[in-house]
Amino acid sequence: MKPFLLEIGVEELPARFIPKGVQALKNGLITLLDEASVDYDEIREYATPRRLAILINDISERQKDRSKEVLGPPKKIAIDENGNFTRAAMGFAKSQNVDTGSLKIISTERGEYLASNIEEKGRMTKEVLSDLLPKLITSLQFPKSMRWGNGSLRFARPIHWITALLGQDVIDFELDGLRSGNTTRGHRFFSPEPILIIDPLTYREALSNNFVMTDPEERKIAILNGIKKIEGAHNFKVREDNDLVDTVTFLVEYPTVVLGNFDPRYLTLPSELLITVMKSHQKYFSVEDGQGNLLPYFVLISNTKSENDDIVRRGAERVLRARLEDASFYYSEDTGRSLGDFVDQLKEVTFQEKLGSLYQKAERISALCAFLCDKLGISNKERVLRAAMLSKADLVTGVIREFPELQGYMGMIYANNSGEGGEVALAINEHYKPKFSGDTVPSGETGAIVSIADKMDNIASFFTLGLIPTGSEDPFALRRQAAGIMNILQKRDYALALNALIGKALEQIEKDSSLRDQLIQKIIRFFEQRLEGLLLEEGYRYDIVNAVLSLENRDMRDFRNRLEILSSLTQEAGFPDLLTVAKRVYNILAKIEMGGIKQDILNEPAEKELFQAAIKTEKRLTETNFRSLLELTGPINVFFNNVLVMDKNPEIRSNRLALLSYVKKIFDSLGDFSKIVS
């Protein structure tokens, strides 16, 4: 066993590429080693902006010997009528370097074939890796890749060196003109010369001595400790931001925490605007007092020695001052007008080439909001419609053109400044919620209605254009928006059937009624798939979910209620027997459509009893939480035991099938019992 090291040295990678990139490198290596029958112990991954690396303390020096079965020609071709091997069989034996006497006949799904067992002697791991590592490196996928120089290799950023060692031996290979070796690079500025790695186990220490912390967790701890030290020295709080910590961890190789400040006059800007300027554009942490108010300080993570803190601080303050001045200018320009003044400008901005302008989208959202208010009996309809028309107005403001991630928030600020009222302003900010899985829904009713309308318009719009999510591709985040709509409907306890909302949204986009009907069914199925996934995550049985999903035109409140009822009913002692008779009913009626029941030709006592039992059960469904269904078990059993359903008389046969169809309809009112697993 020997230690193994692979390091890919590159130009600075984007921080967001690194975690998944090094994980893909690790997973790919595991797959290759397993397939090659090479034993290894724990794999550790290291990553900085300039390198992706894998270290294994012990890896086998040789592959395990392997035996594999190689399939040859079919028996009918390999063996003649006299049982002798044909030229095809002899050619196969020669190609496998074996005697024909060692060949055998095996059975497969496609028939009988000639086969040979081949014993493979394990190769030296160094040789195996020399073949496999180039394939591993070129297999890595990134959100974006590039080519450089005259080569054909694509990677996230240009590769400058490859370190590949098994013990003290270099694993020799070439990748697009670049040969592997036993040297690495330290910090770009403090240790730019090549560093010899004699033993993979000295890798971390060698780079640490050259101002590179290879372990992301080590860098993260250093950053957090530096932040705590500054907080303790100045008695303030650095704003907690785990995402920003993760980002800066992959922006530096040698982190140093530096405190800077800015002119307090910029504190008159909205807090989120200040935070966004610092975080999104400069990757700085903002600073707060004990009450959560912003202070005129910031914290940055430098990729240099602490002796350079003053130079780093002055440079950061100069850059931030310019950014804050831009933000202040745009904010001043925007607040010189009311938010409503920006609405007409939406006519000049295209939402989507075939769907018109943002102004037209705002009108569609407003029409959907009016529909929702009427359906749900919402009294503050005027405020909802005002919020709908203003919901996209901030998209044409100066601040949002510069800082698009603040859409909604700046709309709220400008609405408040324009005297629109707190409810309208809050709705403008919250109508984008929920923005991600686990995010909160809008806190106010106005925001909830505008959010549903906006998301439904997006889904209807892109489905109409055929831009439907496929597989893992969902460029317009329609799955997230569908889940958001269902989440809001559930949290607000709105009794609203999705098909009505979908139909209303499509009315404004697709004028062809036949195409509209097809789209409604597609979008309903799309929602059902999202809902099915959400419910399975909550722990509901898949068959119960599928049974209730068969219900048409149900609102979320009613759907959830029936799901709970059916789940509870399955726990009743008599449910297995009920399910058995229900499935007999479903099976006999498969693909049969029946008319109404004629009571005057119900002759047999068993069919009369079943009819009366069905009427009684149907009347008591609601008051018994559908437990009256259990009372049908006996009458259905008696009916099947004593009545010939498929009577020779067509009228009697048809009437008995109609009776069973009536019974099935009662079951269907709770869910499709044929989908429930016994």
CA–CA dist 584, 329 (Å, integer): 75
| Residue that has been written with the tokens 């921080």 in this structure | 15
Give strand ranges (E) for 613-664. Answer: none
Q: Which range among 3-12, 337-346, 519-528 shows the weakest confidence by mean pLDDT?
A: 519-528
Cα(83)–Cα(94) distance, rounded to whole angstroms?
19
C-beta separation of 59 from 2 below 8 A: yes
- Tell me the pLDDT tens digit for each residue of 181-232: 999 999 999 998 999 999 999 999 999 999 999 999 999 999 999 999 999 9
Q: Who's near 337: CB < 8 A, 6+ residues apart?
A: none
pLDDT in tens, 86-107: 888 888 888 878 887 778 888 8
Residue 118 pLDDT: 75
Residue 80's SS3 state is: coil
Take residue 101 and report the two structure tokens written for it. 């006497």
Predicted local confidence at residue 219, as pLDDT? 97
Query: Can you tell me whether residue 148 is helix, strand or coil?
Result: coil
pLDDT digit string, tens, across residues 466-477: 999 887 788 899
Coil vs helix vs strand at 160 = strand
SS3 650: helix
Q: Which residues contact 58 (CB under 8 A, 6 or more apart)?
A: 1, 2, 3, 40, 41
Q: What is the pLDDT of residues 446-458, one digit of tens each?
A: 999 999 999 999 9
| pTM score | 0.76
Q: Please name the residues in contact with 338: beta carbons below 8 A apart, sequence gap of 6 or more.
A: 414, 417, 418, 419
Residue 568 CA, chain-centre distance (Å), reads 31
Q: How far apart are CA 441 and CA 432, in angstroms?
A: 9
Percent of the chain with pLDDT over 90: 69
DSSP assigned state of 280: I
The residue whose two tokens read 């009294």 is 379
Q: Which two tokens stand for residue 674?
A: 């044929």
Residue 5 main-chain phi, psi, to 5 deg: -140, 130
Assess whether pLDDT exceeds 90 at residue 386.
yes
Q: Which of the 8 DSSP states describes residue 156?
A: S
Radius of gyration of the chain from its Cα atoms, rounded to whole angstroms: 35
Contact 394, 400 (CB under 8 A): yes
Three-state SS for 511?
A: coil
User: Rounded distance, CA 249 to CA 255, Å?
Assistant: 8
- Mean pLDDT, rounded, for 424-436: 95
What the block records as the tokens of 2 is 């020997």
- Measured CA to CA, the distance from residue 500 to residue 496 in angstroms comes to 8
Question: According to CATH, where is 1.10.3210 located in the chain?
Answer: 350-539
The pair of three-digit structure tokens given for residue 378, joined into one six-digit string? 């919402």
* H-helix or E-strand spanning residue 363: helix 358-376
DSSP state of 254: S
Q: In the predicted model, is pLDDT for residue 165 greater than 70?
A: yes
Extract the tokens encoding 48: 């900085």
- Give the pLDDT band of residue 593 (cuts 50, 70, 90): low
Looking at the predicted structure, is the pLDDT value of residue 277 above 80?
Answer: yes
- 66 has pLDDT over 80: no
- Judge contact between 171 and 136, C-beta under 8 A: no
CA–CA separation, 630 vs 574, rounded Å?
A: 7
Q: How far apart are CA 587 and CA 581, in angstroms?
A: 10
pLDDT 10s digits, 286-308:
999 989 999 999 999 999 999 99
The answer on pLDDT for 109 being more than 90 is no
What is the rounded average pLDDT of the residues 408-437?
94
- The DSSP annotation for 174-234 comes to EETTEEPBSEEE--TTT--SEEE-SSGGGHHHHHHTTT----HHHHHHHHHHHHHHHHHHH
In contact, 287 and 299? CB cutoff 8 Å: yes
Q: How many helices (H) and strands (E) does the chain have?
A: 25, 18
Cα–Cα distance measured from residue 440 to residue 448, given in angstroms and rounded to the nearest whole number = 11
Q: What is the pLDDT of residues 600-644, one digit of tens each?
A: 888 889 989 999 999 999 999 888 889 999 999 999 999 999 999
**CATH code of the domain occupying 350-539:** 1.10.3210
Q: Please tell me the predicted confidence (pLDDT) of residue 402.
A: 92
Peptide bond connecting 434 to the previous residue in cis, omega within 30 degrees of 0: yes
Query: How far is the C-alpha of 26 from the C-alpha of 4, rounded, in Å?
Result: 13
> CA geometry: angle at 145 spanning 143 and 151, to 5°?
165
Looking at the DSSP assignment, which residues form a beta bridge with residue 10?
159
d(CA 331, CA 660): 70
pLDDT digits (tens, 9 = 90+) for 527-556: 988 888 888 888 889 999 989 888 776 677
The pLDDT value recorded for residue 78 is 80
Residue type, 669: S
pLDDT of res. 536: 86
Secondary structure element (H or E) that encloses residue 10, with its range: strand 2-10
All CATH 1.10.730.10 domain ranges of the chain, comma separated, are 570-675
> Which fold does the domain 570-675 belong to in CATH?
Isoleucyl-tRNA Synthetase; Domain 1 (1.10.730)
Provide the 8-state DSSP code for 344. G
Are 254 and 187 spatial neighbours (Cβ–Cβ below 8 Å)?
yes
Backbone angles phi, psi at 457, to 5 degrees: -65, -40
Distance CA 476, CA 466 (A): 12
Q: Report residue 450 as tokens.
A: 């505008």
pLDDT at 555: 75
CA 424 – CA 389 distance, rounded (Å): 10
